[in-house]
Structures are given as C-alpha cells and as structure tokens.
Amino acid sequence: MREIYLDNSATTRCFPEVAQLISDILLERYGNPSSLHHKGVEAEQELRKAKQILAQILKCNASNLYFTSCGTESDNLAIIGAARANARRGRHLITTKIEHPAVLETMKYLEGEGYEITYLPVDENGLVSPQQAADAVREDTILVSVMHTNNEIGALEPVSEIGAAIKAKNPKVLFHVDAVQGFGKAVIHPKKMNIDLLAASGHKIHAPKGIGLLYVGDNVKINNIIYGGGQQGGMRSGTENVAGIAGMALAAKLLYDHLDEELDKLYAMKETFIQRVSAMPGMRINGLTGRESAPHVISLSVEGVRAEVLLHALEDKGIFVSSGSACSSNRPHISATLSAIGTPDKLLDSTIRISTSVMNTQEDMDAAAAALEELVPLLRRYTRH
Ligand code: PLP
C-alpha cells in the first residue's frame, strides 16, 4: 500500500540530500568543533558554513544564531533567558492563548517563579490584534511572545504589525516569535519585523529531529539556561550537533531557493482539497483559507465522527493525519486553539489536521479527499448522535 504522509506539522521526512550530508559528516567529518586538530577544524567549518546559510536566509549576522536541541528548547531559552536577564526591569510577560505548549508551559513555569503573564485572546480565525497586544504592554513588561504560524489551524499572525505596535508603546519590550511552523514556508527577516528572538526547528523542515535554532538580535540580553563547557559563547553549552546543524541549514536552503514555486504548489493543493471536501455535508474548515492562511495546514471538523476513529480509518488506507495537535497528543486535552477560536463543543472532538509538505503531490491530496468521501458517511452511520 502506498503511504500518504499528511502529518507534516508533526514532523517531516528528511530530504535525501540532507540525509546524505548528515551521513557524510557522521562518517567523515565527525570531529568535535572545539578540538584544535584538523578533525575539529573540519567540523568547525561545517558549523560556520551552516550559520552563513541560515544568516543569509534570515538576513542577519552569523553571530545572531545559536543552535539548540529542538524548537522547544529554543522557546525555553528565549523566554526563560529573557525573563531572568531582565527581571530587575520588570516581571510581566505577554503571550497568546493559542501558543504551542513549548511556550505556554514555559510561561506557566515562570508564573510559578513569581512572574505575571497576560494571555491575549484571538478572534474567530485565531488572529491576535496588534492593538490589543500594545494595550497589554506596561512599563514593567519585559517580553511579548506570539507565534508566527499556528500549528493547529495554520493562522498566520500579523507579527510585523504586533512587533511595531508593542515597540511603539514601550521600546524596551522584547519580542519573541515561535516560528517553528513558519520557518521554511515564509520569508522571515527578524530585524525588519521588530523580532528580537526567533525559534525554529529542524525536523519540521525536512532535517532530522534533535536540532533547533534560536535567533537573538543585536543587544538583546538573555541568560543561558544550560551550564557547561561554554560552547556557543556560553549561551548554549554542550557539544554542537554538527551533522544536525549542517542538515538543518541545507534543508532550509533547499526550501528557500525555490520558495515561491513551493508556496504556489502547497496553496494549490490546499485549495483543491478544501473545495472538494467542503462540497460534502457537515464539513467545516477552521480558520482562514487561501494566502491568508499557512500553506501547509488544514484543520477540518467532521460533524458526527470522532477524530480518532477517522484518523485510524484513514490509516487503514495508508493515509496519515493527526487529531488536534500531535505535539501534545500524549496528554489528552481539548485543543486550546480550537476552544480559543470558539469552535462549537460538539466539533472539538471531531477535528483532524491535515498538514502537507513539498514532498506531497496533488495525487496524495486527491486520494485523501476520496478516502474522506468514502469513509465519512460510513463512520457517521456508526456514531451515536
Ligand atoms: N512550536 C510550535 C508552533 C510547534 O508546532 C512545535 C512542534 O510541533 C514546537 C514549537 C516544538 O518544536 P520541537 O518539536 O522541535 O520541540
């Protein structure tokens, strides 16, 4: 049976070129970049090359970039690091109700440490209002954190406008953006967008798991949260994951070299899929569609069918999707994003997420739509109303 992988917001398949490069580095250029001999220098050169590629994409300096183990660690380092470095200036932080647990749980931790957190609401499409964000900023606010692209419904937050609005109210406030779902699918230039701290993750862009990126703007003060050998200027101790770093940089380059064509392809696949499933009764697409939404995320509520049942029925046909957000599926809960946008209670448990990548084809989407057309009426017959 052909595998149709439509859970790319959970993780992606490695690009073959990336897997090859990683294999070469693990087998040939495996030195520790801190070593003084030739093997160390070779590894150090891989690091430098990767930083240059990523710096070019983000239009920043290589010195603005730090590598971590994942998007979660990048978010933790940005938020906890900023809170600790700026505690004397204030103890108030702002975020939104629809952030990923990597941000929400970090904020909860800080609440326990005596910080005060404001959680901004979103509208029915999951969008944060720049004006509301600015209104929430106070003299003692040290950081605002808003995601670039929501992982559950694909809302594209107006980050540039939010950055400008909060800085106009209080120029000292730091702006953190979780771009784990946006990096690789959108042009992101932190400096131009008033972003001080930006998190990204390798495994969402066809690089392996175990590598994350944090952009830290010039003159932005954050404390390290890991202590050790002082690698990466002491900001993130621990021997660098050279192969992962090089792999992430290559994956990003492959995506950004052809971004416009890839976006055209992803939006076209999304559009035809939505048109076809919307023609079925009792289907609802959550959030905006078209270019106002993320190119790769489709949140679909299927009236009268439990998401988990539909997920496994699709799996029987070799089609892999997720229910709600895969990143938190080991802790059953009602999706914070779906609740925040006012999804009716009866649909909370009936929502699946279909997330695509450039490795998918139109045939994949047609097969998924055909499977839904076949399965949904059948499953509805067996669901008690
Ligand atoms: N932030 C968002 C928006 C995500 O979607 C995810 C993962 O799904 C993360 C953070 C966490 O990234 P990682 O899995 O690399 O820790």
Residue ending a domain, choose from 220, 236, 256 = 256
Residue ranges lining ligand 1, Cβ < 6 Å: 70-72, 100, 102, 147, 151, 178, 180-181, 201, 203, 212, 327
pLDDT in tens, 159-212: 999 999 999 999 999 999 999 999 999 999 999 999 999 999 999 999 999 999
Distance from residue 79's CA to the centre of ligand 1 (Å)? 15
Residue 271: CB atoms within 10 Å: 14
Residue from 99, 152, 180, 355 whose mutation best tests the ligand 1 pocket (most atoms within 8 A of CB): 180
Sequence-distant (≥ 6) Cβ neighbours of residue 345 within 8 angstroms: none
With a pLDDT cut of 70, the percent of the chain lying above it is 97
Cα of 327 vs centre of ligand 1, distance in Å, is 7
Task: Return the pLDDT at 333.
Answer: 59
Query: Which atom number of ligand 1 is nearest to the Cα of residue 149?
Result: 3
Index of the ligand 1 atom closest to the CA of residue 201: 15
For position 263, which CATH number holds?
Answer: 3.90.1150.10
* Domain co-membership, 215 together with 290: no
Q: Give the global pTM.
A: 0.97
Q: What is the DSSP string of 110-152?
A: HHHTT-EEEEE---TTSPPPHHHHHHH--TTEEEEE--SB-TT
Q: Looking at the structure, tell me whether residues 160 and 69 fall in a common domain.
A: yes
pLDDT on residue 184 = 98
Give the percent of the chain with pLDDT over 90: 94
Mutate to test the pocket of ligand 1, among 201, 297, 335, 353 (most ligand atoms within 8 A of CB): 201
Q: What is the pLDDT of residues 86-124, one digit of tens each?
A: 999 999 999 999 999 999 999 999 999 999 999 999 999
Which residue is closest in CA terms to ligand 1's atom 7? Answer: 327
Among residues 239, 256, 273, the one where a domain terminates is 256
By mean pLDDT, which of 45-54, 190-199, 272-281, 337-346 is the weakest?
A: 337-346
pLDDT, position 276: 98
Residues 242, 156: one domain?
A: yes
Domain around 68: 16-256
From 218, 233, 256, give the residue that closes a domain: 256
> What's the mean pLDDT in 17-42?
98
Residues 271 and 369 in one domain: yes
Nearest residue by C-alpha to atom 13 in ligand 1: 71
Of all atoms in ligand 1, which is nearest to the CA of residue 202?
15
- Residue 154, Cα to own-chain centre: how many angstroms? 10
Phi, psi (deg, nearest 5) at residue 334: -80, 135
What are 297's strand-pairing partners? 355
- pLDDT at position 1 is 87
* DSSP code per residue over 279-336: TSTTEEE-S--GGGB-SSEEEEEETTS-HHHHHHHHHTTTEE-EES-GGGTTS----H
Q: Give tens-digit pLDDT for 291-304.
A: 999 999 999 999 99
Considering the domain architecture, whether residues 326 and 355 belong to the same structural domain is answered as: yes
Rg (CA), the chain: 21
**pLDDT-wise least confident of 124-128, 167-171, 277-281, 323-327:** 323-327
How far is residue 319's CA from residue 364's CA, in Å, rounded to a whole number?
Answer: 9
147 Cα–ligand 1 center, Å = 11
- Same structural domain for residues 232 and 279? no
277 is written with which tokens?
């499933």
| 60 is annotated as an active-site residue | no
Q: Residue 311 C-alpha to ligand 1 middle, in angstroms?
A: 21
pLDDT tier at 325, thresholds 50, 70, 90: very low
CB 221 within 8 A of CB 173: no
Residue 326 pLDDT: 46
How far does residue 102's CA lie from ligand 1's centre (Å)? 7
- Average per-residue pLDDT in the chain? 96
Looking at residue 52, which CATH number applies to its domain?
3.40.640.10
| CA 235 and chain centroid, separation | 22
Beta-carbon count within 10 A of 114 CB: 8
- Span 19-48, average pLDDT: 98
Question: Residue 332: its pLDDT value, please?
Answer: 53
